[in-house]
Structure 1
Amino acid sequence: MTLQTEQASDQVETLSPTSLQGQLNRQMIIILDFGSQYSELIARRIRETQVYSEVISYRTTAEQLRQLSPKGIILSGGPNSVYDKGAPLCDPEIWNLGIPVLGVCYGMQLMVQQLGGQVTRAARAEYGKASLLIDDPTDLLTNVEEGSVMWMSHGDSCQALPEGFEILAHTENTPCAAVAHHENKLYGVQFHPEVVHSEGGLALIRNFVYHICECEPTWTTAAFVEEAIREIRAKVGDKRVLLALSGGVDSSTLAFLLHKAIGDQVTCMFIDQGFMRKGEPERLLKLFQERFHIPVEYVNACERFLTQIDGISDPEEKRRRIGHEFINVFEEESRRLGPFDYLAQGTLYPDVIESADTNVDPQTGERVAVKIKSHHNVGGLPKDLRFKLVEPLRKLFKDEVRKVGRSIGLPEEIVRRHPFPGPGLAIRIVGEVTKERLDILREADFIVRQEINQRGIYHDFWQAFAVLLPVRSVGVMGDQRTYAYPVVLRFVSSEDGMTADWSRAPYDLLETISNRIVNEVEDVNRVVYDITSKPPGTIEWE
């Protein structure tokens, strides 16, 4: 699980050169974020070209960028209009750095406005798919086919271009869909090349990264692992490290990486709060201790956690109590097993983007853990429980973590494991959680996983699980009237969990699962299928 520092700002942090350790000597593209929902996606697309990328605040100064020495800069989209009062603006000295710049949507309009062009409200807004009509097929648009569908999302338009700029492409509604100042290597596109809907988007990004910025593909899994091991050893030295192991891909990859780097100096602690799936605690311990020879300190706290949420129905209160009890157990066990100098966290790059690094030990300059990230729902560490943090995965996106896991020997059953919430089955039981209800849900959930695994379609879903509702309905089994619980099946498809669609699971699969649950799981007489997307619903029910 990921322990995270307090979030102190709703702005993306501005990274100083020292916070990009090891990146200054690597090919790098910087993304200045103006509030676009796609900023992280731009970074991911660049990394798919095996070039490193960072998302930082639009407030970053030209001098700070000069010190970072990126090979290129991308200005993201954003919800504002450049002519609005208080619209976010970048340092205008950026245009004089001599570094190639690509503006995307709002970023393009900002470039045009600041360099002397004009941006106004468009006569016709353009949202969704549009065919790109190419006027200049060279440079940025090399290998982008005429008529390629691109994803538009704008209500403003560039009415006049700055001196030296020319139009590269247009659409039926947008005369300046792509522009360039070739001599100064300044480029802008009104569409979003980073989204999957843009057919020639990746080709355009490759053109910018490889041909215009002249980057080399140095961001590889092997290079990352080598650098991470070197940095862990240099930072930790001969000190001890504590890792809270959950069995998910992030903490498991981190455990493998740390063990590879410092061996027995890392202690893995698994706290069993009683809300895991059937057989998972036993499977996790056997896998790590017998197969991988990585010792795990098992802490059985099932009764403690169940007592803490006894009679509690409100989902947020359940989360809060589970988090609070986790902290109590974690603190007690860390003192028993310690002392430890470092706490290892599976912090990922999206967590870094969403959080400001404001919690710093004034004496050492080290980040200290004072909050477990809210989406893991396990509360916050007490301020007097101080560790220096080891966060080797904080440069990575989820898909990159999976690649690293594979490269260091993590088995596919963990690498491709469906996401599982920190509070576990406790938030897949709507309302009050009891031992009886946990047992019912555990058995139903086991049947779901067993059936999709036997059919070889486990990886066809982002998540596939069961939910238990706190109501009863009338049914008939044999000649007897029943009054039992309904189970909800929740199967979803997604790329990153931010949005999701309900999966069109085969009817015969649903039939088999339904028949097995009502016949094999006591106190269940009805199975229903959730066909709600996210949004408006969430993937989890609580």
Structure 2
Amino acid sequence: MTTPAAENQPLAEPRQHRPVLVVDFGAQYAQLIARRVREAKVYSEIVPHTATVDEMLAKDPAAIILSGGPSSVYAPGAPVVDPKLFDAGVPVMGICYGFQAMAQALGGEVAETGLSEFGGTDVDVCATGVLLAGTPEHQVAWMSHGDAVRAAPPGFEVLATSAGAPVAAFEDRERRLFGVQWHPEVKHSEHGQAVLEHFLYGGAGLAPDWTADNVVAEQVEAIRAQIGDARVICALSGGVDSAVAAALVQKAVGDQLTCVHVDHGLMRAGEVEQIERDFVAATGVNLVIRHEKERFLAALAGVTDPEQKRKIIGREFIRVFEDAQRDIVAEAGAHGEEVKFLVQGTLYPDVVESGGGEGAANIKSHHNVGGLPDDLTFSLVEPLRTLFKDEVRAVGSELGVPEEIVSRQPFPGPGLGIRIVGEVTEHNLEILRRADAIAREELTRAGLDGEIWQCPVVLLADVRSVGVQGDGRTYGHPIVLRPVSSEDAMTADWTRLPYDVLSVISTRITNEVREINRVTLDVTSKPPGTIEWE
């Protein structure tokens, strides 16, 4: 959603950092490359391959990385690289398809070798150069190609070969042009991060200065410049993104910020109290809590369809937030102040998925407040829109946001309402809260929080099965544990939890939550399943 005024407002972006541009040729790993560059403490942005050289250079890039892609460079209509990019004086690195496109544009030879390479591949290093310095002579790298570079362009030194790639890596140090056939951004490439860092530090001469403390300082300055002395409001869900965004704005403008938390009765055990107690204590933010459980439960009565649940929860949230907003505006107006700004916890993946991040108008469905009305006249403040999730957590820690919030697993806006398969009632919510609290407690006790992206606990309220509890027959509900591992939630795999931990969780839930007589484990990846059940 974009408000009318937001389109004309400066975005709070750390323009002090010249970006490393990752040119996306349609690879599934473009975001992963950008993340790995960030992990090297260097700022990166993703641009589409349709961007012209002039458009790329207008961003004043410190370096450019050409990503992989599904095409063959010699196929009709395949994306190409304008050769003038390599004469711009900007360091460039090609990866996989980008490597082949670079070779072709500069006069090398790319062809089908007859030996495709997919997955872990043995690579032989014949010259270390800048790119492969300090890496072993024989190493395993992650390949995904049918074509290969047969001959390097004039002026390039061949650094590595493989069975299916006569030229698997090359560089022209004088022109600061580099490339590899494999995917260094993938963890399966044994020395992939080192290769990327050699390009960034040695090839491009960049400093590792994209750090949490620098991000905080730059964003605070940008937020102050954007907001001035106006009032600003934030919908505080209790999740990581909205909490860190609020903490940044609070640090920048202090009591000009008012946060609103809508307690819809669908939160997990203790979370509303945690927001009210810990977050306020850590940040000093002005917090308004609207307790609206009865309103939401009344609206959800008798509803079992998951999409209808989402729409009802979103609608009611909007109405409650509008009421709170009017109260804040009225109070501010009584003191001669104007509320001009709305804080949103938009992240960089949201920007990319919404159209590449070329401005606020690209932000459509990605927002944290559940779907605010189109005629809302606030301007947006999006202090996290250049950050990935792990960076948001690091910034939150830098700001002193409580660890319980910073390390919190992603939690859906509709809350437990979409983790109950069946009707959302106070009784069902209480069952789920108790089971969820046990699962979270035992996972934390086992030290597994860092290995799990998210562990939804799902109540199958519409399902009953026969069980035996206390020597008596029961007819109770099953609970589903859904532990998953992921980097960005676009894809995920189920987490292989230790059997002894699963046993403790199952025993405790069936002993302490009498309505539950079965605990099951969801072992489905994404795709084909989603992380949440509804």
> In structure 1, what is the equivalent of residue 110 of structure 2?
119
CA distance in 2, matches of 1:317, 1:264: 38
8 Å contact kept, 2:26–2:69: yes
1:151-230 to structure 2, matched below 5 A, reads: 151-230=142-221
1:369-448 to structure 2, matched below 5 A, reads: 371-373=364-366, 379-448=370-439
Normalised to the residue count of structure 1, the TM-score between the two structures is 0.90
> In structure 1, what is the equivalent of residue 6 of structure 2?
none
Name the aligned partner's letter for residue 135 of structure 1: C
8 Å contact kept, 1:448–1:465: no
> In structure 1, what is the equivalent of residue 467 of structure 2?
475
Most deviating of 518-527 and 237-246: 518-527
Most deviating of 435-444 and 445-454: 445-454
Name the aligned partner's letter for residue 468 of structure 1: L
> In structure 2, what is the equivalent of residue 354 of structure 1?
353
1:78-97 to structure 2, matched below 5 A, reads: 78-97=69-88
> In structure 1, what is the equivalent of residue 324 of structure 2?
333
Which secondary structure state, in structure 1, belongs to the residue aligned with residue 120 of structure 2? strand
CA distance in 2, matches of 1:399, 1:337: 33
CA distance in 2, matches of 1:192, 1:20: 32
Q: Deviations over 1:74-95 (max 9, x none)?
A: 1111122222222223333212
- Structure 1 residues 458 and 32 mapped into 2: Cα distance closer, same or farther (>3 Å)? closer
- Structure 1 residues 96 and 368 mapped into 2: Cα distance closer, same or farther (>3 Å)? closer
Which secondary structure state, in structure 1, belongs to the residue aligned with residue 68 of structure 2? coil
Which secondary structure state, in structure 2, belongs to the residue aligned with residue 37 of structure 1? coil
Name the aligned partner's letter for residue 356 of structure 1: G
8 Å contact kept, 1:369–1:387: no
CA distance in 1, matches of 2:304, 2:519: 22
> In structure 2, what is the equivalent of residue 529 of structure 1?
521
CA distance in 1, matches of 2:286, 2:12: 32
Which secondary structure state, in structure 2, belongs to the residue aligned with residue 464 of structure 1? coil
8 Å contact kept, 1:370–1:380: no
8 Å contact kept, 1:369–1:389: no
8 Å contact kept, 2:92–2:176: yes
Q: Deviations over 1:231-287 (max 9, x none)?
A: 111110000111110112211112211111101101100011111001211221122
Which secondary structure state, in structure 2, belongs to the residue aligned with residue 518 of structure 1? helix
8 Å contact kept, 1:165–1:180: yes
CA distance in 2, matches of 1:189, 1:314: 50
8 Å contact kept, 1:271–1:301: yes
1:162 CA displacement: 3.0
Residue ranges of structure 1 left out of the alignment (5+ in a row): 7-17, 361-366
8 Å contact kept, 1:27–1:51: no
1:41 CA displacement: 1.5
Name the aligned partner's letter for residue 232 of structure 1: I
Most deviating of 434-443 and 331-340: 331-340
Most deviating of 497-506 and 483-492: 497-506
Q: Which of 293, 299, 303 pairs up with 1:308? A: 299
Q: How many residues align?
A: 519
- Structure 1 residues 313 and 119 mapped into 2: Cα distance closer, same or farther (>3 Å)? farther
1:427 CA displacement: 1.3
Which secondary structure state, in structure 1, belongs to the residue aligned with residue 119 of structure 2? strand
1:452-463 to structure 2, matched below 5 A, reads: 452-463=443-454
CA distance in 1, matches of 2:380, 2:319: 20
CA distance in 1, matches of 2:109, 2:370: 49
Which secondary structure state, in structure 2, belongs to the residue aligned with residue 59 of structure 1? coil
Which secondary structure state, in structure 2, belongs to the residue aligned with residue 191 of structure 1? coil
CA distance in 1, matches of 2:163, 2:363: 53
Task: Say whether 1:47 aligns with 2:46.
Answer: no
CA distance in 2, matches of 1:319, 1:84: 45
Q: CA RMSD in A?
A: 2.4
CA distance in 2, matches of 1:265, 1:140: 49
- Structure 1 residues 5 and 83 mapped into 2: Cα distance closer, same or farther (>3 Å)? farther
- Structure 1 residues 520 and 386 mapped into 2: Cα distance closer, same or farther (>3 Å)? same
8 Å contact kept, 1:27–1:216: no
Which secondary structure state, in structure 2, belongs to the residue aligned with residue 284 of structure 1? helix
CA distance in 1, matches of 2:484, 2:164: 36
CA distance in 2, matches of 1:392, 1:224: 10
Q: Deviations over 1:276-301 (max 9, x none)?
A: 00121122112233454322110122
Q: Which of 26, 35, 40 pairs up with 2:17? A: 26
Name the aligned partner's letter for residue 533 of structure 1: S
Q: Deviations over 1:67-126 (max 9, x none)?
A: 322221111111222222222233332122121211111111111222233323341211
1:63 CA displacement: 1.9
8 Å contact kept, 2:233–2:341: yes
8 Å contact kept, 2:12–2:222: no
CA distance in 1, matches of 2:517, 2:250: 47
Name the aligned partner's letter for residue 45 of structure 1: R
CA distance in 2, matches of 1:453, 1:193: 33
> In structure 2, what is the equivalent of residue 287 of structure 1?
278
Which secondary structure state, in structure 2, belongs to the residue aligned with residue 102 of structure 1? strand
1:358 CA displacement: 9.0
Task: Say whether 1:345 aligns with 2:344.
Answer: yes
1:368 CA displacement: 6.9
> In structure 1, what is the equivalent of residue 333 of structure 2?
none
CA distance in 2, matches of 1:79, 1:20: 35
Name the aligned partner's letter for residue 314 of structure 1: D
Name the aligned partner's letter for residue 342 of structure 1: F
Which secondary structure state, in structure 1, belongs to the residue aligned with residue 528 of structure 2? coil
CA distance in 2, matches of 1:386, 1:91: 42
Name the aligned partner's letter for residue 459 of structure 1: G
1:359 CA displacement: 10
Task: Say whether 1:449 aligns with 2:440.
Answer: yes
> In structure 2, what is the equivalent of residue 109 of structure 1?
100
Q: Percent identity?
A: 51
